[in-house]
Structures are given as structure tokens and as C-alpha cells.
Amino acid sequence: MEQMRNVSPDAESWALTLKQRWWAISKPFSIFFNAAILLLIALIFFLPFTWMLVSAFRENPQLNLAFSNFWLGNFVQVFTGNTAIWIRNSLIVATGATVTATTTAFLAAYPFARFNFPGKTLVLFAMLLSMTIPLGVVMLPTFSLARSMGLENSLVGVFLIIAGRQIPLSVWVLKEFIASVPMELEEAAWIDGASKMATLWRIVFPLTAPGIAVMGMLTFLVGWGDFVVSFLLISSEDLIPISMGIYKTSLEATAYGQLRINYGVQTAISLIYMIPPIVLYLLFRQHLIKGMTAGAVKG
Amino acid sequence: MKIRTVITFLALLSIVLLLAACSGAPTAAPSEQPTQAPAQEQPTEAPTKAPPTPAPTEKPVEQPTTAPESEQPETITLSLAHPVWFNDHDWTVTKIKEWEAKNPGVTVKLVELPSPDGPYREKLVLDLASGQGPDIYLADTFWFGEFAEAGYLANLTDYVNAWDDWSQWYDAAKSAVTYKDNVYGLNRTTDVRPLYYRKDLFEKAGIATPWQPTSWDDMFSAAQKLKDIGVKAPWMVKAGKVVGEATTMQGFYMLYLGCGGQLWNPETGKWDIGSQCLRDTFQVYYDLYIAKKLGGDPDNWLAGDPISNYRQMMQAGELGMIATWNGDWSGTFGPNGDFPLENRDEQLAYTKFPAQAPGKGIRGQDYVTISGGWAFVVNGASQHVDKAFDLLAYLHTKDNVISYYRDQPTLPGGLPTRQDVTNSEEWQSLVDDYMLWQAEELVPLTTFRPPVPEYPKVSEAIQSATETILLGGSVDDALAQYQDDVIRIVGEDNVTK
Amino acid sequence: MRKANWLLLLALPAFVLWAIFMVGPFVRGILMSFTNEALVGPNAMNVHFIGLENYRRLLSDADFYNSVKVSSIFVFGSAIVGQVGLGLLLAVLINRKRKIYGKISWAIALTTAIVILAWVTPAAVTGLTWTSFLNKYGVLNQIIGVFVGSEVAYFWLAKKPMLSIILANIWQGTGWSMLLLGAAIESVPHEVNEAAEVDGATSWQRFRYITLPLIMGPILVNLIFITIWTYGVFEVPYMLTKGGPAGKTELLTIYGYQQAFKYFDLGYGSTVAVGILVITMVLAIIYYRLLGRQAWNK
């Protein structure tokens, strides 16, 4: 950039026309080149899905791509099974976690964004650090804690644990969003006589909606995808979520020799399993991008 | 000023909260910590002595109606846990209903836990540790050591001794459910391991059938002939960590017993980490998978689903022979199996697995096999051991074991543990030639795994060592690694080099 | 910034949830790491404090060092190179402010949709999908087979286990980076870029000297989160390789999990957890230095 500035006006306009010409020539190539890279990436990302898409509609598929006759039997089996209950349970977990984590994190983010108080940095840093603890290695203490609180075999227990684990990230992100809301807006409302809670609800909340959408969606995805927490806490047949349901449809080898992996049913359920996240993304896409933009600018 | 109080309040609260979180462990340990529950209740009796309430009824099954009068007021619920794969579910439910009818006031609730074995065990142990486990559960017999030591198994010795039927159990079957001289469970069936081979491929390779190898050399030369006609995997031996216990039981042990190996010596309590037999066993792995390339691609055992894979290969005629679970004959390759062979009896055959050379096997045997199997056990923390045993006894009466074979849609793969069943005409008429052959030929040869808590970890060290060979390591590498692992598990003093 | 008042109480519910379900178990775990607590075997009946014994064992445990190495390769490959690198490339390609955006918007829409689809795919499905994709007779080999003209039976999960789990993780995680960095690039003021273009800067120069410095902040934030998340990744690699063969993909999480759940050795399993925290903490501090204080306190 430095050297560009030193070019004389003449040369500059010449360079401009040259550049325009170059662009005219290279534009088709550039379009082609860009589109090609994009499509290549799209293709590569799509390939792993093909087996699932094909096998869900085939009879007794194995772990390779085989185009036998189109067959809907897997779905019949899926819908005569417990799938509806599994979906319900997963929805309870995901929604519960989303509402709990997002609400509490939003409320908590407000003081963190607006006030200085002793220990603030410490708590924020502790929260960040706590995110580094993988669930996999604190599973047993988490489990025994939940048991001692009477949360075993309860969907509430599952979503509270998930929500608790989502709080640090949510607080961090929402804090940034709230900080970006001009304080004058709030102050104006106070002068008009609005209470502080009312201001929070009517001024701050709508302006941070994109951020809330982002965190809500992330938490929903975590809750919807959860396997580990449910596996630990849930033992009743009618409380298991769909992730465990998929697992149940597969039986693996034992020393004893039993085996039946029904890939047809597994892929069929998997397809159904993927619908809510997709719908959610389509619904919140605009918010998500807006939210990310706002969050990213703050960085 | 107001702000200060708020801050002070918050600070105090957070300290209290953190303290509460911290104190979870130390204060809970003696009292409320759920994992300790069994330990508190049965400090020493459980593993070594009689059950706390040694009042087994003389004939629990035949005379169940005498007891209820006193027990009428209390309604109890027994829970029975099993993994998802529990094939006998429907039959068991029928029998439980019958038993419930004879035991008013008792209801039995079936609890389905996940499958396969790993997750099943995880979930089960968590439940047991919290003191809320099922009253009755299905357990692999090789878990007995670890479970009994932790207090998860009720000692049933007095119950079985007071039960006439127990004398009908084969001694080998008894030892499968015995740990440190105490009986902890009832096993209805046990399994054995034959050698399966593709008859049609053997004939194509010019090997006369029926074929009965008498040494490992016989097997190697047959494998070589199969390789010559283009069979992808002439002789597979289960290996690697992915298939877990199957590697130890159906791969390693079948060879190791054939050169007289004894993994754990019950007299001295020492583990074998350096015998020639151990070396010979690993050498077979090396020859098959690396040196002579007779075992197919070693990758088959390293990831994915090796069990389906070998079954598919057997079906497709790409696998020559393999030692595996006896239930594969009907459950996998039979007409209703997962990988049916079109014309099984023409294509597939079974035979005894030979020792390294005649007479070289354990106890001087010419042929070897090993048994394992699952058993019903009673939770050490159960409040209703009497009733639980009563139910188990009912599920294992002679009539019901025969019914188990008669009243199920497909013939179960396991062999009965009761002599009076195997000797009964009814049972013999119910089962096929294959089952009779196993009962006659394999059961007398069978052996069991060491009934000690360290076994599962040692077994894993074996799996790991075979994996080292699959990845191209030498026999010495595998042995060295195995030695390190076992010494770490059982200690320097408990091994024989 | 105002002074604190009673509104601080708003933080209470979140704080309580966090303290109970995240801090609590970890503190409990730390305490466990000083005991021989186990759920099976003789130790289950005889739990007592054993001081630093578990830590001594950890520091002399070759498997633990192996896991540290494996995890670090995994994080470097899948998070730093893969997700951030590929995510940045995608973010640039889908940038709405580029001249050719209109012409290839259909390709952009398609790519974005598929990459996001991979991102929202639940772990259980990702595991299944990739198991089949990389299977010996799976889709990848079938496709290669079409090009090579003969059947390919290369078992990726066994032969290239680390590459396999890295690819699966990149596949799963890139969507997030793409969205985040894409948003960051779009927030770069249009005028700056235009001015540079008038000055004759090539698109690479514009990216290198204008866009990149401006989005360095978001990139670093993204790096922190992704590094931390990736150290904690467990489910998909476990489903694909179970840590094998021969420990080649035994991530720290898988190692800790096996100690805790296969052997039910809670004491030692918790010690591994503490080890993981120390490693990620060190990384967090390094990033913290890189970012500089102002970014945190903004």
C-alpha cells in the first residue's frame, strides 16, 4: 500500500484503466475460479452425507453406498417405534437448556457490561477458564452431584447441567452485545421515569436480540446434540433423548457374539434428527449473521 | 454504602457456594456420598462370608405359597436389569409372570440398560455405586472379581447350597460363577468356541472334508493352500482392542490354551508374562498377519466394525476359518441369522480347535476351548435377596431351562449348565446335531478365565499386545509391552517371567 | 461504566448455575484426584486420601504424555489449520462486498448451506456419517475407486487414524469459523477497501494489508474458543477410533474418560482432568497475552 501512494496522478489513471481492462479480461476467469473453489468445498462437505441420504431409503444397507431399490420401510420402523417420545425428550432438554442459559446469562451479562465492581475481571476470567474443562472428564463428579440433588433420571437435571455449562460463553458474548448498546438510550428511559428493570427489558433486550439469538441457537444445538449427560442421568425408557435412541438402534458386538446394527433405521432416524437444527438455522439465519457481525466487530 | 453491602453480600455468597461445592467430597465421603453406600452397608461380609440374612427357604420354587401369609402386607418390587441385546426378553417376561402369580405382593420390573457391553457396564456400575442399582442384573462372569470386591454382588453361597438343584450344575459351570469360593450368580447356559471353516473352499483347495486339524501346523498348511486358491483371509484370529474381550476369548485364549498356557496360577496367584507358550501364541499372530499374510488385512481388526466384517467375509467366501462363539452357527450364519449362508450345511462346518501339537494343550489335551457367558446375579445392596434368589432359582429349574430351549422362536446358542437338562431326552430331541456335538465334544474340554478382579485389565493388555503386532510390531515388542502393562496392573511380585 | 448497585443481583442465577454445575463438579474432581476412589474392585470399599500419589503416577505415565501429544496435534491440525484456515478462506469467498458476489451468489448460497449443515449435525450423526465415509468399502474409497478404475479398500480409520479424526472435526467445526469470520469481514468499512482499490491494490493486497489487520481481533477470539473447544472434543473421535489403534488417536479426553469409565478409577481419572485444565489454562494465558489486556476489558 505504501508504494501505491507515491504514484503520480497520470500513472494512477493509467493504472486504473489498465486495471479496468485487466478486470474485463480476467473477470470470467475469476468468476469461474471462485465458483469452482466454492463448489469443490461444497462437494467435499456434502460427500459424507451421501451414505446417510441413500441408506435411509434402502433395505438393510451396509457401510457402503449401494443403490438398491428405493424403500421406505426404515421410516415405517422408525415411526412405529419410540421416535416421537425421543424427539419430545430432546426438545424438552434443548428448549429447557436454551431458555435457562440464555435468560440467566442475559441477566448476568448486564451488570458485567455496565458496572465496575471488584472481582469482575477475576470472575470473567474464571468463567473463561472453566470453559476449558471438558465434560468428558468431569462426568462422574457431575453425575454424583446431580444424583445427590435428586436430579437423576430427570430431564430437568439434564438441561440444568447443559445450561450451567453454557453460561460462561453466553455471559461473555452477551456482555459484549450489551456493552455495544449506547448507555444514553438507557439513561433517557430512566429520565422518562422507566424503572431499571423496565429499561432492561424494553431497551436493552431488543437491541441485543441478535446476540441472544446466537447464544440461544448455540445452546439449543448443544442440548439437542447432547448424548453424554443424558446417558449418565437418564435410565427410564420413556425419558431418553433421540441421540441415545439412535445409539439404541445399533447393537454392537459383544464377547458373546450378539450383533445387529440396523443401519437403515439408524440413518432414517439420523435424517429426522437433523431436521430441527436445520429449521432453527433457517429461522434465525439473519439474526445469527447480524449477531455474529456485532459480536465480531467488538472482538 | 448500599453498593458495598451488595458487594459484600455477593462475595460472601460466592464463598459460601464455593465452600459448599468444595465440601462435597470430604463431608459426603462418610455419609451421603452415594458411591459409598454398598461399602457402608456391608463392610466385610459380602465378599467372604454368608449373606446378611441367610434364610433360604428349603424349596423356594415348589412351595412359594407358604410364605406369603407373613409377607402379605408388604408389597415389594424387584428390578431386573439387562442390556438391550437381551434376546431372551420375551421368554423371561413369561416366566416372570408365572413367578409373580405364585408370589403375590411381589412385582418384577424389567430395566433395559444400553448395549453393547462397555456402555452397559458403565451404566450398571454407576447405578450400583449410587446404591440404587437393580436387585437382579445380568453380568458377564468375568466381571465377578471386580464387582464382588466392590460389594455389588450378593453372596448366594448359602442359598445355592440349600437348593437341591445346584448339584445338577456342571463343575465347570459352577466355577464360572464362583469367586474366592463363593457363588455369586446363576448361569443358565454357557458358551464354547469351535473352529468354523468354509467346507466348499477347503474342497476347492484340495483339502479333504470333514477336516479335523490336529496341530497348528495343520492349520497353517491348510491356510496356505487356501491362500493359493485366492482366499482373501485364509485363517483369521480375532485381534486388537476394538473387539475387546472377543480378542482374548476367541483369539488369544484358543491358541494359548493349545500350548498349555495358564494365564493366572490359582496356587501362587501369579500371572504369566514370559512363558514360551505366550511367545508362541503371539508368534502365531505375527505369522498370520505379518510374516505369512494368511490372516487377511490386519486393518480389519483396527477400526470400524470388525465383527460384522469377518461375518460378511465368511458369507462372501473370503474367509477360510476362524475360531469364534458357538452361537454364530445359527445366530449369524443360519437361515435367520444376520449373515445367512445360502446353503449353510454344505458351505460351513465346525470342528474342534487343535492344540499346538497333540497332547500339548492345557491338561495335556489334544483340543481346547474356553467358556464364558453371562449370569444372573443379585445386587449386594438389594433389600430382597431372598425373593431375588427365589426368582432366579425359578428361572433356572430343570423344567424352565428345557422350556427355554423349547418355547423360544429360535434355538438359543448357549449350552445348558445343568446336567439333568443335557441328559434329558426332551432336551436332546429339541436341539440340533450341532448342539449335541458341542455338549459331547467341547464341554468336557472347556476352561474358564481367571476369576480375579485384575483379569479385565490383563485381558486388555493382551488385546493391546495383539494390536501392536497388527500394526507391524515384532513378537518381542508385543511381549515387552504386555509385560510392562501386566506388571503395572498386578505389581512386580505377582508375575512369573 | 457506572458504579455497581443492586442490579448486580441479576448475575446471581447464572452464577449459581455455573457454580453448581461447572465449578462444583470440578472442585469435587480435584479433591478426588487426591484419593484412590474407584467404583469397582477392592478400592471401591476402601477409599482414602493418598496425597500426591496420582500426580506422581500421571507424571510418569507414558500414556498420558502420548495423549498430550496426540491432543496437541489434533488441536493444531483441526482447529488452527483446519477450522480457522478453511473458515477464513470460506469467509473471504462468501464475502458479500466482493465484486463478483452477484455472479456466483448461487454457489455461495449452496456452499454456505452445506457447510452450515455439517456444523449443525449432532455428534451422534457425525460419528455414524464419518464411520461410513471412511470405512474400508465406504463412500470415500468408492469415489476414489471411480477415479482409479479399480476397487480401493484402504482403511482410513486404521491406516490414517489421526487424519481421519482431524478431517471429521474440521468438517464439523468449520461452519462456526466461517460465520464468525465472515461477519467480521463484512464489518470492515467499505470505504477503506474502495480507496485502496482506487489506489490500484490487488485483491490479495487489499486482503493482506486492510482486511486481515482489521479482523485480527475476531480471529484471535475465534482461535481461543476453538482451541479450548477442540481440547474438549470427545464424542466424534471416540466414535470413530475409540482412541486407537495403539493409542494413536487417544486424545486427553478419551484417555481421561477411559480411566474414569472403563476402569472406574475416579481418583486417577480426575487427576487427568486436572492435567487437561492446566494445559488449556496455559494456552488461554498465552492467547491472553497475544490479545492484550484491552480486548478483555473492553
Q: How far is B423 from chain A (nearest CA, A)?
A: 25
Within a domain: A151: yes
Tell me: do A80 and A35 sit in the same domain.
no
Does the beta-carbon distance from C139 to A37 stay under 8 Å? no
Q: Which of residues 97-156 of C touch A (CB under 8 A)?
A: 99-100, 103-104, 107-108, 110-111, 114-118, 120-125, 128-133, 135, 137-140, 142-143
- Write down the pTM of the prediction: 0.82
C-alpha cell read off for B410: 429360535
Which residues on chain B are in Cβ contact (under 8 Å) with C241? 303
CA distance A109 to A113: 6
Q: Mutate one of C17, C170, C238 to test the A interface: name it (highest A CB count within 10 A).
A: C17
CA distance C188 to C98: 12
Q: How far is B380 from chain A (nearest CA, A)?
A: 20
Tell me: do A90 and A48 sit in the same domain.
no
Which residues on chain C are in Cβ contact (under 8 Å) with B122? 261
Q: What is the mean pLDDT of residues B12-28?
A: 37
Domain spans, chain C: 37-297
Nearest alpha carbon to residue A174 among A121, A106, A82:
A106
Are the CB atoms for B348 and B317 separated by under 8 Å? no
Interface size between B and C, measured as CB pairs under 8 A: 138
Tell me: do A164 and A286 sit in the same domain.
yes
Are the CB atoms for C193 and C241 separated by under 8 Å? no
* pLDDT single digits (tens) B260-291: 999 999 889 999 999 999 999 999 999 999 99
Averaged pLDDT score across all residues of chain B: 83
Tell me: do A186 and A50 sit in the same domain.
no
- Check residue B388 and give its pLDDT: 93
Tell me: do A172 and A204 sit in the same domain.
yes
Does the beta-carbon distance from C13 to A104 stay under 8 Å? yes
Identify the residue whose cell numbers are 497520470.
A10
- Check residue A244 and give its pLDDT: 84
A133 touches chain B (CB under 8 A): no
Tell me: do A40 and A143 sit in the same domain.
no
Per-residue pLDDT for B26 more than 50? no
Q: Which residues contact B116 (CB under 8 A, 6 or more apart)?
A: A251, A252, A253, A254, B83, B85
Distance between first and last Cα of chain A: 25
CATH of domain C37-297: 1.10.3720.10
Q: Which of residues 204-243 of A touch C (CB under 8 A)?
A: 221, 224-225, 227-228, 243
Q: Which domain holds residue A19?
A: 2-55
Q: What is the mean pLDDT of residues B292-310?
A: 88
Q: Count Cα neighbours of B125 within 13 Å in the Cβ-side half-sphere.
A: 27
Within a domain: A42: yes
Identify the residue whose cell numbers are 438510550.
A185
Q: Which residue intervals of chain B bear CATH 3.40.190.10?
A: 53-62+71-191+372-444, 195-370+454-496
Identify the residue whose cell numbers are 456402555.
B119
CATH fold of the domain at B53-62+71-191+372-444: D-Maltodextrin-Binding Protein; domain 2 (3.40.190)
ipTM for the predicted complex comes to 0.86
Tell me: do A159 and A261 sit in the same domain.
yes
Tell me: do A98 and A46 sit in the same domain.
no
* pLDDT single digits (tens) C250-283: 999 899 888 888 888 888 988 988 888 888 888 8
A122 touches chain B (CB under 8 A): no
3-state SS assignment for residue B111: strand
Per-residue pLDDT for B175 more than 90? no
Tell me the CA distances in angstroms from C96 to A241, C63, C90, C102, C188, one per residue in order: 39, 48, 12, 8, 12
Per-residue pLDDT for A257 more than 50? no
Neighbours of C97 (CB within 10 A): 12
- Check residue B79 and give its pLDDT: 86
Q: What is the mean pLDDT of residues B388-393?
A: 94
Domain count, chain A: 2
Per-residue pLDDT for B155 more than 70? yes
CA distance C140 to C154: 9
3-state SS assignment for residue A5: helix
Nearest to C124 among A165, A247, A297 (CB): A247
DSSP C35: B
Within a domain: A181: yes
Tell me the CA distances in angstroms from B431 to B137, B191, B403, C64, one per residue in order: 28, 15, 12, 52
Per-residue pLDDT for A298 more than 80? no
Tell me: do A15 and A111 sit in the same domain.
no
Does the beta-carbon distance from A136 to C1 stay under 8 Å? no
Neighbours of C217 (CB within 10 A): 19
Q: How far is B24 from chain A (nearest CA, A)?
A: 8
Within a domain: A65: no
Which residues on chain C are in Cβ contact (under 8 Å) with A210? none
Within a domain: A189: yes
Identify the residue whose cell numbers are 482414602.
C48
* pLDDT single digits (tens) A131-158: 777 776 688 788 878 888 888 889 999 9
CA distance B357 to B361: 8
CA distance C186 to C91: 9
DSSP string, A112-165: HHHEE-TTHHHHHHHHHHHTTS-HHHHHHHHHHHHHHTT-TT-HHHHHHHHHHH
What value does the CA radius of gyration of chain B take, rounded to a whole number of Å?
Answer: 26
Chains that touch A (3 or more CB pairs under 8 A): B, C
Distance between first and last Cα of chain C: 11
Within a domain: A284: yes
Does the beta-carbon distance from B6 to C41 stay under 8 Å? no
Backbone torsions φ then ψ of A131, nearest 5 degrees: -65, -20
Per-residue pLDDT for C197 more than 90? no
Does the beta-carbon distance from C5 to A169 stay under 8 Å? no
Per-residue pLDDT for C212 more than 80? yes
* pLDDT single digits (tens) B402-449: 999 998 877 787 889 999 998 999 999 998 899 999 988 998 898 888
- Check residue C183 and give its pLDDT: 81
Nearest to B111 among A144, A152, A235 (CB): A235
Identify the residue whose cell numbers are 486420601.
C49
Tell me: do A208 and A293 sit in the same domain.
yes
Which residues are registered as beta bridge partners of B264? B271
C-alpha cell read off for C47: 477409599
Nearest alpha carbon to residue C41 among B143, B122, B46, B150:
B150
Question: pLDDT category, B356, cuts 50, 70, 90?
Answer: very high
Tell me: do A18 and A136 sit in the same domain.
no
Q: Which residues of B252-261 are buried (b: 16+ CB within 10 A; e: fewer)?
A: bbbbbbbbbb
Give the lowest-confidence range in A195-209, C105-119, C158-172.
A195-209
Per-residue pLDDT for C79 more than 70? yes
Question: pLDDT category, B463, cuts 50, 70, 90?
Answer: very high
Pairing between strand B374-378 and B136-140? antiparallel
**Which top CATH class is B195-370+454-496?**
alpha beta
Within a domain: A60: no
